[in-house]
């Protein structure tokens, strides 16, 4: 009895489709303003090409919104049908049990009496329907249209533009597309989870996600095209250029495999395969333009060593000229983004944290590699994001990703690296035969205190983290980690739970410490993790405040709880912090919590 239909997965996809549709609607005004900015002083055949591309993008975005709305509407119907079928099956099974009990009572009663009782039972307790509820086939249809970017112009026509306006428009479009790419990841992950867990629902058409990917790929091609023709106008010193010359300048010169790597719609599997096919050396990566390195720094599925080269190059550029990289990330054109002054402070703090990681790496004991890696540099929701791995993420047999909580920025990189070093050292002492890598992941815009009760930051951050985790495994397809652990501190546990409900690759252990809770639809069996652990210190009075509308993971069946209080040779946690300079945090060296978490990383469970 029963049907294969996970209501939580359906709710997640329904909510995701609704929220992403709203986000796409809201982006229209900003996209229109960016395009109008470029069109000022833009004339000729290339201005018309740009206008046509803008119109197609706008129309396709509206169609995509309608497709998402339609998907949400179908899911409402399907949930009702699933509930009806589950209720019908339950009622029929209960009736059959009552019928069985009645049959036992009626044994030995004469036929006339039995007939009368059978008739009365049919009136008082009618048999539920044996006709199953048939689900309406699901249709998720959307296809993006290709856009023309050449005038095919041997006509002698000429076009003119202000190159700086074209570049600013391209940067604004990229910033918006970066946010939309996060929404695509959410939709893709929610769709995969739904189709995997709701096989009861027949799917007639499933082109929405690939179509969404194609839409973003067309947007990315438009932005790259705009940059290339801007370069051509700038090189010519202004004025107008022959449309034939622009046809040559506007054509992509990137190898096809590199285009696939840089395509924001590519999955981590596709990125890994395309990068492998390129066969580029470290020297080749170093020689790429800074704009390409910035793109590589933010792409999941690449080897950690490649992201490290690219990310360090961009970080050096950001330290030397913060304003330039700030503009390259599209932050001046992102609503609610950190300002340039705060961006500059965070860039310097990230540099200092990375230097600390390099120094810590030199003290690691073999077989862990004596390296630190900057495995990400970019922007998310207007915030600077990054990730630092202590140990070689490409080769470590045991990989751990630590997700911080509310108000965290890359400005705390040094503190988080200190926590990673202590954790890795403790785990390495417990298992001296394995190599370790511990990632301090700043890959999402953590919420401010007023935002903690909401799930918006966790939804976006969860999609980013799911992509990062899958990318680590896909980049190591021939030699995956033997063990993977995800740690979530405070709101980071909420974010990590969202990620593990979406990630394709199963992890070994998920550990929450000082958690502000899971959403009511999140249960351990919804998470792609073999085991889920939780701990909270008696003197942590902050975590409970954050759980005003969420569930304490320690209260969920299947979650294994361990202590953060005083133990043999270890100290109790004295507050909510991860690794404070004063007091005892969850990951402070010598704390009971840190000891148990290191045991989970090394051995799979706390001693």
pLDDT in tens, 545-571: 989 889 999 999 999 999 999 999 999
Which DSSP string corresponds to 273-326?
HHHHHH---HHHHHHS-HHHHHHHHT-TTS-HHHHHHHHHHHHHHHHH-HHHHH
Cβ count near 453 (within 10 Å):
15
Query: Average pLDDT in the 241-247 region?
Result: 80
Q: Is the pLDDT of residue 157 over 50?
A: yes
Residue (of 435, 348, 350, 349) closest to 390 by Cα position: 435
Predicted local distance difference test score (pLDDT) of residue 243 = 83
pLDDT at position 228 is 87
Model-level pTM?
A: 0.77
Is the pLDDT at 590 greater than 50? The verdict is yes
* Residue that wins the pLDDT comparison between 377 and 106: 377
pLDDT at 290: 87
The rounded Cα 284 to chain-centroid distance in angstroms is: 29
- 106: how many CB neighbours lie within 10 A of its CB? 14
**Cα–Cα distances in Å, from 198 out to 4, 9, 81, 193?**
5, 8, 13, 8
Per-residue pLDDT, 2:
83
Return the percentage of the chain with pLDDT > 70, whole number: 95
**Among 167-181, 429-443, 496-510, whose mean pLDDT is lowest?**
167-181
CA 364 – CA 523 distance, rounded (Å): 37
Question: Could you state, in order of their start, the residue ranges of all structural domains in the chain?
Answer: 7-85+135-253, 272-603
pLDDT value for 304: 97
Section 224-246 average pLDDT: 82
pLDDT value at residue 253: 60
Instruction: Please give the span between the terminal C-alpha atoms of the chain, in angstroms, as a whole number.
Output: 40
Q: How confident is the model at residue 455 (pLDDT cuts 50, 70, 90)?
A: confident
The residues, any chain, with a CB within 8 Å of residue 378's CB and separated by 6 or more, are 178, 294, 297, 298, 329, 384, 385, 386
Q: Is the peptide bond before 367 cis (omega within 30 degrees of 0)?
A: yes
Q: Is 343 helix (H, G, I), strand (E, B) or coil?
A: helix
User: What dotted CATH number matches 272-603?
Assistant: 3.40.50.1820
Confidence band for 410, pLDDT divided at 50, 70 and 90: very high
pLDDT band at 264 (very low <50, low <70, confident <90, very high): confident
pLDDT of residue 73 exceeding 60:
yes
What does pLDDT average to over the chain?
91
pLDDT at 214: 92
- Does residue 247 have a pLDDT over 90? no
pLDDT at 154: 47
Q: What is the pLDDT of residue 368?
A: 96
Average pLDDT for 479-497? 97
Confidence of residue 359 (pLDDT cuts 50, 70, 90): very high
For the segment 165-179, what is each residue's pLDDT rounded down to a tens digit?
999 999 889 888 988
% the chain with pLDDT above 90: 71
Question: For 22-52, what is each residue's pLDDT tens digit?
Answer: 999 999 998 998 899 889 889 999 999 999 9
CB hemisphere CA count around 4 (13 angstroms) = 10
């Amino acid at each position: 009895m029963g049907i294969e239909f996970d209501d939580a997965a359906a709710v997640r996809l329904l909510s995701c489709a609704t929220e992403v549709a709203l986000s796409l609607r809201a982006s229209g005004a900003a996209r229109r303003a960016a395009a109008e900015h470029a069109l000022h002083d833009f004339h000729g055949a290339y201005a018309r090409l740009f206008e046509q591309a803008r119109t197609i993008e706008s129309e396709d975005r509206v169609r995509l919104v309608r497709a998402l709305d339609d998907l949400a509407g179908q899911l409402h119907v399907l949930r009702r049908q699933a509930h009806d079928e589950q209720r019908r099956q339950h009622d029929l099974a209960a009736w059959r049990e009552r019928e069985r009990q009645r049959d036992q009572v009626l044994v030995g009663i004469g036929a006339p009496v039995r007939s009368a009782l059978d008739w009365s039972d049919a009136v008082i307790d009618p048999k539920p329907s044996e006709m199953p509820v048939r689900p309406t086939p699901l249709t998720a249809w959307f296809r993006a249209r290709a856009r023309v970017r050449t005038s095919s112009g041997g006509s002698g026509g000429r076009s003119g533009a202000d190159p700086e306006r074209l570049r600013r428009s391209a940067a604004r479009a990229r910033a918006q597309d970066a946010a939309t790419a996060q929404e695509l990841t959410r939709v893709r992950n929610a769709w995969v989870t739904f189709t995997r867990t709701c096989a009861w629902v027949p799917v007639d058409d499933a082109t929405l996600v690939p179509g969404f990917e194609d839409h973003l790929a067309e947007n990315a091609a438009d932005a790259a095209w705009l940059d290339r023709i801007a370069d051509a106008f700038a090189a010519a010193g202004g004025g107008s250029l022959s449309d034939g010359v622009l046809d040559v300048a506007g054509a992509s010169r990137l190898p096809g495999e590199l285009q696939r790597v840089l395509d924001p719609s590519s999955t981590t599997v596709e990125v890994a395969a395309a990068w492998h096919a390129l066969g580029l050396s470290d020297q080749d990566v170093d020689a790429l333009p800074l704009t390409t390195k910035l793109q590589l720094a933010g792409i999941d599925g690449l080897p950690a060593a490649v992201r490290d080269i690219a990310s360090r190059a961009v970080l050096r550029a950001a330290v030397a000229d913060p304003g330039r990289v700030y503009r390259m990330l599209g932050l001046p054109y992102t609503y609610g983004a950190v300002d340039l002054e705060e961006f500059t402070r965070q860039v310097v703090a990230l540099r200092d944290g990375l230097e600390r990681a390099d120094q810590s790496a030199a003290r690691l004991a073999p077989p862990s590699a004596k390296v630190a890696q900057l495995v990400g540099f970019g922007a998310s929701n207007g915030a600077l994001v990054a990730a630092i791995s202590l140990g070689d993420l490409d080769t470590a047999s045991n990989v751990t990703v630590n997700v911080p909580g509310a108000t965290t920025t890359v400005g705390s990189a040094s503190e988080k690296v200190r926590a990673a070093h202590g954790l890795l050292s403790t785990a390495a002492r417990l298992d001296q035969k394995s190599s370790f890598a511990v990632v301090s992941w700043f890959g999402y815009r953590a919420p401010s205190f007023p935002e903690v009760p909401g799930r918006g930051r966790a939804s976006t951050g969860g999609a980013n983290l799911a992509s990062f985790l899958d990318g680590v495994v896909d980049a190591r397809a021939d030699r995956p980690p033997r063990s993977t652990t995800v740690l979530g501190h405070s709101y980071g546990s909420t974010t990590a739970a969202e990620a593990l409900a979406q990630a394709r690759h199963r992890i070994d252990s998920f550990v929450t410490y000082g958690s502000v809770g899971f959403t009511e639809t999140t249960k351990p069996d919804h998470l792609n993790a073999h085991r889920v652990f939780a701990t909270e210190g008696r003197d942590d009075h902050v975590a409970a405040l954050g759980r005003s509308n969420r569930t304490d993971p320690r209260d969920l069946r299947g979650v294994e709880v361990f202590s953060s209080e005083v133990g043999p040779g270890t100290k109790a946690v004295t507050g909510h912090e991860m690794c404070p300079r004063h007091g005892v945090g969850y990951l402070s060296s010598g704390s009971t919590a840190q000891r148990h978490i290191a045991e989970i990383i090394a051995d799979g469970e706390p001693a």
